[in-house]
Amino acid sequence: MSYERLTFKVASEAHEFEQIHRLNYRTFVEEIPQHPANDEKLLVDRFHHENSYYICMDGDRLTGMLAMRSKRPFSLDSKVAGLDSFLPSGACACEFRLLAVEPEYRKPGLFAGLLRFAAAEATDRGYNLAVASGTLRQTRLYSRMGFVPFASAVGTADASFQPMYLSLETARKMLARIGSPEAVPAAKVSFMPGPVEISRSVQRAFARPPISHRSAQFLQMTKDLKERLLALTGAQFVELLLGSGTLGNDVVAAQLKLLSGRGLLLSNGEFGDRLVDHAGRMGLEFELLSGRWGEPFDMGRVEAVLATKPEISWLWTVHCETSSGILNDIAMLGKICEKHQVRLCLDCTSSLGTLDLDLRQIYLASSVSGKGLASFPGIALVFSDYEAKADSRLPRYLDLGYYRQKDGTPFTHSSNLVAALQQALVELRPSERFDRIKQASKGLRRQLAKCGFELLTDEKHSSPAVITVKLSPKISSLQFGETMESYGWHLSYRSSYLLERNLVQICLMGGVTEEQCAAMAADFETVADEVLNITVMQKRGNYVS
């Protein structure tokens, strides 16, 4: 066996899944009598739709496989009572299952190669431990690969298995010493709202040695960054806070707490609902006007509320509702608020850096360093049209005026994040970037529509940077997204609000190229057909219990 001709990859092709089901049958029906025989000689795992399969191919032939599953309960949960009590503290565990290799390929190097690849992929997903149950026939092999046995054997006399766990980082280091073939993962491109594709120059800026947030160099860098942000938006003031967009919205809520009167919150999606939560936790008094998920607001209803409730002094909503891609009409909201002397506040997390954003008439607005600005996450931005004053009634970390009083750095800050964001602003070139995103969005929408995909929001009311696709009920958005990842494309699909609606999103917030957009769209249709074929195969095969 020559390792040079072997390929380690994530299963994605229909012919690969067919071979997986057949190898599964030969291993766990014919060789290890764990499941009953059937005439088709196919064994489709009961967790097939939740498994990621790491496979070894010799040309077009499947030689070995290992499945990874992260959803609890694990299959081992039903066999070992109190499973977590046997695992090391701090474990973030997934489950490795269905390790099977064709007899003529059963060499330590190939087993190690599969485990090495699976460990790397699982680590990238945030897991640090894998649980497994290995056949007692191969306890020596598992021990050599770094598995630690625990509890008593499970199964039957003919099919006995030992519960084990594997530290993924330890496994990667140890398996590297064995000299197993290293799988070369495909370069992956992010079409997610975050993390986004980040340019090499921004990465280099982030990698500079850190400097003190009290130094003259840091203060000058911060001053320059603020000037660029104000020039980009037309806002009067901006402060940089070390944290996420959630922090920025808490700061906005804290400022609203200082105002008299009630407020009006508008929500037509997940992130509008989160503003409602921010306001509730801050103890704000407000009216709520909810719109249909993924549809623009009825401006007549908004004006009617403000006309009949003069006590309302502020209005807070999301500009780009990332959960659907809807782009709320802030120009019209601005006119309505001006007419009724109401302060307009916005969450601009997903709109800053993706389209022309005018904050000149906005009382407060929040955003972030990642997403549309194509830098690293970690800095919350809060814009205002007034010079905030420190107020001891507010928690120090949420006091916008305190930041202003201390020249923007009352607390420890990250020079690395500031340098990266500064570089991102230097190379932003707004008009070119906005036009590029708009043209890419139009092209993708045309291509997807031509292939028969249904888009959640129409182009007129959508952000050009967020395209939301409604998949057929016959296609699982989770399986579709995972398969696209195996092709090298990271889409947004794992959020609960997307999974519930069987949606996937293509986001154009990072530095993706026209060529990458075209290649991703071409794979979009291919993957949809593959996932549909896999679903048909699942129905044709025999599910195990």
354-365 in b/e form (b: 16+ CB < 10 A) is bbebebebbbbb
Same domain for 253 and 212: yes
Domain membership of residue 193 (yes or no) is no
CA distances (Å), origin 138, targets 76, 134, 231, 232: 18, 7, 66, 63
Domain membership of residue 191 (yes or no) is no
What would the two tokens of residue 285 be?
Answer: 């008094």
Same domain for 438 and 405: no
Same domain for 240 and 115: no
The reported pTM is: 0.68
Least Cα distance to 207 among 215, 196, 216, 198 occurs for 198
Q: Which residue has the tokens 């066999």?
A: 79
Domain membership of residue 381 (yes or no) is yes
For residue 178, the model assigns a pLDDT of 52
Total number of domains constituting the chain: 3
Burial of 291 (0-12, 13-18, 19+ CB in 10 A): buried
For residue 187, the model assigns a pLDDT of 55
Same domain for 327 and 382: yes
Domain membership of residue 545 (yes or no) is no
Domain membership of residue 194 (yes or no) is no
Can you tell me whether residue 327 is helix, strand or coil? strand
Can you tell me whether residue 506 is helix, strand or coil? strand
Same domain for 224 and 115: no
Q: Which residue has the tokens 């195996």?
A: 486
Same domain for 471 and 369: no
Is 415:221 a contact under the CB 8 Å cutoff? yes
For residue 544, the model assigns a pLDDT of 39
Report the distance separating Cα 117 and Cα 144, nearest Å.
17
Report the distance separating Cα 253 and Cα 370, nearest Å.
21
Give me the average pLDDT of each 10-residue run along the chain (545 residues).
70 88 92 88 89 90 92 88 88 90 82 84 83 79 80 78 85 60 58 90 94 95 97 98 97 97 97 98 97 94 97 98 96 97 98 97 97 96 97 97 94 97 94 94 93 93 96 92 88 94 95 85 86 57 40
Domain membership of residue 330 (yes or no) is yes
Q: Which domain holds residue 529?
A: 433-538
Same domain for 143 and 65: yes
Same domain for 524 and 481: yes
- Conformational region of residue 85, where left means phi above 0, alpha means psi within -120 to 50, and beta covers everything else: alpha
Domain membership of residue 29 (yes or no) is yes
For residue 144, the model assigns a pLDDT of 73
Is 117:11 a contact under the CB 8 Å cutoff? no
Domain membership of residue 261 (yes or no) is yes
Same domain for 412 and 472: no
Report the distance separating Cα 87 and Cα 234, nearest Å.
54
For residue 543, the model assigns a pLDDT of 39
Q: What is the CATH number of the domain that holds 468?
A: 3.90.1150.10
Same domain for 229 and 128: no
Same domain for 155 and 85: yes
Report the distance separating Cα 60 and Cα 62, nearest Å.
7
Is 367:245 a contact under the CB 8 Å cutoff? yes
Domain final residue, candidates 385, 402, 426: 426
Same domain for 241 and 363: yes
The secondary structure of residue 76, as a DSSP letter, is G
Q: What is the CATH number of the domain that holds 159?
A: 3.40.630.30
